[in-house]
Structure 1
Amino acid sequence: MPMLKWIKFRSLKYKIIIVFIIISVILVILQAGFFQHWISAIILKQSEANLHETVRQIGKQVDLQYKQIDTNARVIRNNQVLKNYLKDLKRNTINYQIAKYQIARQIVRLPNLEMIENIYIFPVGYPPMNLFYSDAIFEVDELTERLMTTNRAGSSEDVIWTVQPQSHQISMMMLIYDGDELLGLLRVDLNEKFHDQLDDVQLGEEGSIFLLNDQTIMFATDRKFVNRQETSLEQLAGSGTQITFTLDYQGWKLIGIVPNKEILNQVNQVNKILLLMELIVFAFIFLFALVVLRMILKPLKQILRGMESIEQGKLDVIVNRAGNDEFTVIIRHFNQMAERVNRLIKTVYYQQLTYRKAEVINLQSKLNPHFLYNTLDMIYWMTVVKDEEEIGDAIISLSNLLRYSISHQNEFVTVAEDMEQLENYLKIQRMRFEEKLAYVFHIDPAITDIKIPKLLIQPLVENAIKYAFQQMLLGGMITIRGYAEGDDLFLEVEDNGVGMPADKIEALVASFENKRHGGLGIQLVRQRINYIYGEDYGLSIRSESGRGTKIALKLRTDAGVPQEDLWKDEALHA
């Protein structure tokens, strides 16, 4: 009985071999006569279509790359924080090295920098800034100087592309404007990897690829054509097939040129290869039936054994197989799946351990502040027992103010929270000055939940107490107001102190631009508002000698910016 099954199996194998032999003989006969001319025409047409498709696909990739570089450059050019630092640098209100460091921080955050060799900014009136580079430059070249000094009104959106004569490095340049004010020039150099895909394009053995901007050749497989005009390609195009693809980016063109003899040689080679392959298939057809079962069943058994091991809980199982067929891909994915599951289990375990350690560290970090708060609370109750209510109130205000000031959980707080802590501060100052200091709050209830920077108003109140009342014999009054108009939020600090003459106010306003003198507290408040909300927001001062001073802050109801980065930038810039 087993012998009969073996004979049936063999007979089926013979049938398969005979069918393949008949098909192979028919193909050889047809190839030798009828099909050769027809196949040659098809191959010729297909070769030309493949060339068109190759140039089109490469053109799309190049188009996408240049659009990405253009987009990255415009992101840099339009970065308002970068413009603010260039503007401060142009007005000599910031150190050059600090401005360069802050601008470099904005640059390195950009994605897709692997194709860029150098990024420079040429500020107006200052040496070049080497921000992301392999070759540093220290002087302004002639082309850059001409672009920055030539009147280019209405050309702030222009992109200038150039190719270095010796190195063939491609560079793009864009002027940086803030409104109508020229702040500098941005230059981005592409690295050698940027055109790797063009160098790797295979248009036969002698085909060439060219990238043109207007009539100028920006890139060529044969570098001697770089920086030449398009007319230099006419001789090559006359003896071959030219394929042109127009890029969406600024109408650039990608041109592929393949000699005609190259295509004909390909047709002959394909015919020879096809005939040889048919003979080889005919020779090896007898071996097919013997190896096909082994090729299929052996990897299937390996996969089944691996699955059985996973089912038994052995997650570190590895199925070994060499090759590059579909079974190898399946086994590789199977191994990756088993490894990923095993790694995930270990990751969850270590995350639990790390979480427990973090809880302990967090608890330890709170011991010292809690000890201070608890000590103040103990002193408060001691004063209550001794009927020292005024001292107790001062301790409670100090404790609340201390807790609010050293907390790092939120750098933005609601108006209600900031006003509450400001009142704690004023309570302590009132106990210090007794009846000589009074204060009142007029805060619109509609703005109490709006977020503002923490401790923004307290420096202005400190200035009022320090300067406005120092020459007054009678008591002083501080009024704090808050209200909203549309998308704008207004906060005011007004006192009835000694006031300031007009010339002193002008000097104080001038100190905002020249940071060598002036009120440090007011300067810091103004800088925080400018860098968080923009140049359209800030503070205004109105004062009159003998009649007091009012400082008004103009903010937005929604800052709409990342808090962490802005606080870091603000601290460094200040």
Structure 2
Amino acid sequence: MNRLQHLKIKDQLFILISFIMAVSLILILSGVQYTFRVYDQQIYRKSSQVLMMSSKSIEDELKKIEDVSYQITTDQNIQTNLLKAGQDQNKYDRYKIKRDIWDKLSEYTGSKRYIKSIHLFDAYQTEYSAGASLTEALKRQIDRLIEKAAERKGGNAWVTMPGVNGELLSARQIRSYHHLNFDHLGIVLIVADLKSIVGDLPQDWGEGAGKIAMSDGTKLFFSESPLKKMDALRLSSADQNGYDIVNKNGRRFFVSYVKSSYENWTYWSLIPFDAMFSKITAMKSIFISLFILFFFTAVLFGRKMARGMTSPIEKLVAAMKNVQNGDFKTEPLPKAPPERQDEVSVLNRAFITMVERINQLIAENYEKQLMIKETEFKALQAQINPHFLYNTLESINWLAKMNRQPQISKMTESLGFLLRNAVNMKSDVLTIEEEADIVLHYFTIQQFRFAERLVYEVEIDPIVKMCPVPKMILQPLAENAITYCLEPVLDPCRISIKAWKSGGFAYLTVKDNGPGMDEDFLDKAKKGLVQTRGKGIGLQNIDERMKLMFGGGYGLHISSQKNKGTEITIKIPFQSGVS
């Protein structure tokens, strides 16, 4: 120590920096080694994740085949023919039954890519098949397959095929749905091409993808790995998933496994360890070499670089402490010029932007809270007025009936109906039938006003009555028809509202015999450039609500000719009712 004190300052500084960098080098190399160990574990986990994705893809395809077996068992044509097969039939009828069943099985065989063949055995052991022929080994196991399918009581049973690598068998009992007696009609077997399903898995999952194998807890029933003795692995592990490194014939292999929740299966992935981690080992060597070079560079320029880097960081930390204490002002922290793109400068600008955004959000939140309180107050006020108005209309209706004024009573009832629907906030969606009721009450009121000058008809096809539509779309269109067709002239105005189904769509039309529109006015109306006379809902508003509810392919279409009237058509998807 005394000897060090007698050295020159530059030598002392050099020794001190060298000592600090040497200790840093040791610590960082230890940290790097630990980091790579963590990275190795992440690679292990990735391999397990890839195996889980592979198993899900396999099971998705098997579920599609399972759906096909269900469709076959519930097929009305097959059910009917199997019931007939149990009755006394002549030779031609038996041939026709077989031909009908074969035709249906052929359709189902071609419906999914990975179905090799379909075999159906009726209650009398008569076979109907489509696709590849049934093997003798499988024929000898028919009784066992019937027993397994019967245990599922109409459910699907997946059966492995001993000695066959690449095929899987779906077995399902066919039960009669006639009068819901569930009598046994037979069994359907679907041979699935498991090898093709595994072979078609994505090949771009990187180094985490390996050779796939499948076991049922005691033995392998499928493997695409060249290592045939995989049953020596932990086939009976209690863990749902995991991974391990095993040694086989002097080579290391990474083995991951995942247990399926779909069936009592375990999926295995086998990857050569050296092939998987050769790149990582090379990267370790390159990184260590580069870091040693950086060590000597840091000894020479470390002090200057450290001073230049720590100064702005210290200012940034001070500003962060102010924010931590509740002071969101950034004036003491100068903003880095935009031409500087180093990490510290980017962090400096990002922090200042973040603080400014927080201040803005605080102000916006305060304003929103005030608006919420004001809206709640107005909503509370609005609860009183509609009830008072309803009660007043009921009183007027009662007085009209007492004084034998049916017209006033009818207008009051219609006005009350319109008012209730206009202020009802429970739902923004009504059925076409409910919309038609609103229009009928609206026409009732207008009929008393215009008498014989207003002629209207509303025709709603019963099949589209329950189709959902946005609230208040027909009444504004009827109001526009009266405003632009009836009011300007003295001749009778005919307004027709119709709704019907065509294809997979429902259509509503509002048609009048008014003066119509020329092409220029019609073009402006379609673009929403026409200023309406009233304060109601405009055509553009209705069109936007339709597109918002059903999509861009639906909405409102206007067709009109001068002196020939106007027709407005609304196109919506046909649906059976309000969801």
Which TM-score band (shorter chain)? 0.3 to 0.5
| TM-score, normalised by the number of residues in structure 2 | 0.35
Question: TM-score scaled by structure 1?
Answer: 0.35
Q: Which has the bigger relative contact order, CA under 8 A and spacing at least 6?
A: 1
